[in-house]
Structures are given as structure tokens and as C-alpha cells.
Amino acid sequence: MLKAAKFGGSSVAGAEQFKKVKAIVEADPSRRIVVSSAAGKRSGDDHKLTDLLYLCHAHLTYGVSCDEIMETIVRRFVEIKETLGLRYDVEADLAAFRARMNKDMPVDELVSRGEYFTSRLLAEYLGYTFVDAASCVFFRLDGQIDQERTYEAISAALKANGRILIPGFYGRLPSGRLRVMSRGGSDISGALAAAAVDADVYENWTDVSGILMADPRIVDNPAPISHITYAELRELAFMGASVLHEDSIQPVKEKGIALNIRNTNRPGDPGTMIVESIESDESPDRFITGIAGRKNFSIITVQKRNLNANHSLGQALGVLGRYKTPVEHITLGLDSFALVVSTGTLGENIYDAIADIKEECRPDGVDVQDGIALVAAVGRKMTSRPGISGRLFKALGDAGVNIRTIAQGADELSIIVGVENDKFETAIRVLYDGFAG
């Protein structure tokens, strides 16, 4: 058994969190490859080191001193070192880094140091060999990860050292310069590490006990999801559930590696297991895996007699494409169709887009309705059950929620309804109480 364990920013935020990480790593000798984020927030009003480093860069760009921010950063690292009695001379390395910091230092190099210094300290504390991401995570010229080279380097490093720790979030370009991934990118580094060594599990340690069935700001104490497929997770994430960096799924999915989201502060909780397919059914009565949604969509309804005899739909889609506005979903009738788009994405272009649609489609009428929220009930088990959508719509109707649009994914993995923005929370609660809890 071999496990890759990635610890997020809150898991390595300070010395107390380092102790929890050590206990987790030591509890299971198969956790032989560890990836670390930069120290994150210790409390609500604290700062992530990565944010502070981006702030340093902004100061340098405008010629404003970043001494004060650097002092805060140095204090964070020195506190961890001293509390845990580590030997690594982080002060000297930080001083050398500070001396090189000027407005010409590439921003990627600058912000990558959060992961670098956090990982140097954590590697010593765990007794793991530190393997710099600059020597094992490679980007191609086009900025994409060079998977082959990366996998080779990581698996060679593990073979040579037995137990390794790699800083997340950054890697090296062919030119030798460092490059960071997008925010939250340590999730990707962890996935690459797991895939490189063909781990049995990719554990993603964070500060929640897995993915919840609904947003806890809307539903009281939503149940955690114990098992979910990669496809379901994608639907939920697309509809607004923020869980993992979306690019972290592919490397592990490709290799059939299960992804387990765990809570560093409650290591006894099993968390959520994300897998390719689920055969056994632990909760046969629950046919919805999760509920998510987003507000602020517009429905553009175009009336035109005998749609099947003309090309209006294609023309309208072409217009929205020109304004770089993706269409979230489409409903189609005999004499009209409706396109749902994000209000913010279309923005002020709405007026030009409607004028273009009128000109190109020559419709009998066009109507725009703003203030629409989309709510998705996602569940692999909906495929095999008749009557589910009927029950969902009845529950919403009974609660006084007017449904403006309905869409079901072609794979029957989700049912999406459009409701008015001010009914968003009610719709989520009704679906959760009726079908998920």
C-alpha cells in the first residue's frame, strides 16, 4: 500500500498544525509521499503566506517598501522552527531571499517561496527527504505540465529516498525559471505525485471532513458525502460547490487512483472518497448525492414559429459565441427556445446581443428575464429511478418555488432547475430536506 498525502494551507498554518500532520503521517507508514502547501490562515483574521507574498510583489512593483510584510512572513517561519526545535537555518535562507527581492524578481519565483520554506521545515520535522519541486515538477514551453518527465522524476526521487516531501504549487519551465500554478494549485501537485508513483490513494488533507451534500451556509448541518464518483463531483463543482482545484482530478482519475478528502483537525473522520464508479450502495434510500447551485443567470427567450424549419437556434448560439458567452442550457419548444446565460458574463453586451439576434433570427419576439438561479440535484442513482423529477418538481411547487427552466443532463446525472434568485436558498433546502437528508 502506498499513499500520497497532500496537506493544504490550513493544515500547515503553524506549529500546532505541524504536530497534527506528523501524527497523521506517523499513524500510517504507507504515507510515504507528502506534498505541502504554504502556511495558510491560523484563524479567521490571519493571512495566507501566499497572499502576503503576492502583496510583497505588488509593493515592489510600485516601489513601496515591503519590509513590514516580510517581517510578518519571517516571524511565521521562525515561530514554527523555534516551537518545534528544528535546525534548518530558515533565517539565513530568508535573509538571502530578501536580499535578492527587487522589482525584477519574477512574481512566480517570489510567491513560490511560501511552499518552499514551509516544506523545508515540514520535511525536517517529519524526517522526510525534501525534494524541491524545481527538480521534479516540469512544465512544457506552452505552460502545461510535462507529465512524463514529472512522473519519472518524482518516482525516481521516491525510489532513491524512501520517504519524500515535495512543495506544492510550483515547478520549473524548460528555461529553468520557476512557474506557479493557479491558486490552490498544490492540489494539482499532490495529484501528480500520487499518479507518478501509482499510489493506491491520493489523500487530500484539509480543514473539512469531506464534501458536504449542500452548502452549510444554506442548509443546517448537511450530511457529508461518503462516496462520490468523479463524474458527479464534476457536476457539483461546475454548479458551484468548491472542493478541489479542478485540474487535480485528471491525473488521478486517469490512473484509477481514489481520492480521499480528509480533515487534519479530525483525522478519525473517514472523509469523502472520490472514485471512478461505485458498485455497492451504502445508502439505498438516498438517490441524490449532492445539491449545488449558482445565482444570477438570465433567460433569453426567442419566439419564432416553426423552429424546426429554420436555423434560428444556431444563429442565436452564434451571436452569443461572438460575445464570448457560454450557454448554460437550452430549452426548446415548437415555436420558441430559451437560452440560459450568466448575467455577469454577458454583461453590457446584452443590448448588442439582443439586437444581433433580432437582426439575424428575425424572431416573432425576444424576451429577457434576469435574476435567475440554477439549482442542481446531482446523483448517479437518478438514472435508474423513474419518477424522480416529478417528485422534485412537486416538492418545489408545494414550497411555492416557481420553476422557470428545467434541464436534465444527457447522462441523467443531474437535474437542473432555474428559479428566481430570491428562491435560491428555499429551493436548496427543499431539495435537501426532501431527498438528501
Nearer to ligand ASP (CB atom), residue 48 or residue 423: 48
Number of residues assigned to the chain:
437
Instruction: Identify the residue among 48, 81, 304, 404 touching ligand ASP (CB under 6 A).
Output: 48
Choices 181-189, 203-211, 232-240, 325-333 (CB under 6 A): range interacting with ligand ASP: 181-189
Choices 65-73, 87-95, 178-186, 336-344 (CB under 6 A): range interacting with ligand ASP: 178-186
Q: How far is the CB of 152 from ligand ASP (least distance, A)?
A: 24
Q: How far is the CB of 204 from ligand ASP (least distance, A)?
A: 10
Instruction: Identify the residue among 116, 125, 130, 169 touching ligand ASP (CB under 6 A).
Output: 169
CA-based nearest residue to 111, from 63, 27, 62, 49: 49
Site for ligand ASP in 388-417 (CB under 6 A): none
Per-residue contact string for residues 182-221; x = within reach of ligand ASP by CB under 6 A: -xxxxx----------------------------------
Q: How far is the CB of 188 from ligand ASP (least distance, A)?
A: 8
Q: How far is the CB of 187 from ligand ASP (least distance, A)?
A: 6
Q: How far is the CB of 189 from ligand ASP (least distance, A)?
A: 8
Q: Using CB positions, name the residue nearest to ligand ASP.
A: 186
Instruction: Identify the residue among 37, 209, 264, 325 touching ligand ASP (CB under 6 A).
Output: 37
Using rule CB under 6 A, residue 9 touches ligand ASP: yes
Per-residue contact string for residues 77-116; x = within reach of ligand ASP by CB under 6 A: -------------------------------------x--
Q: How many residues bind ligand ASP (CB under 6 A)?
A: 14
Q: How far is the CB of 169 from ligand ASP (least distance, A)?
A: 4
Residues that bind ligand ASP (CB under 6 A): 8-9, 37-38, 48, 50, 114, 168-169, 183-187
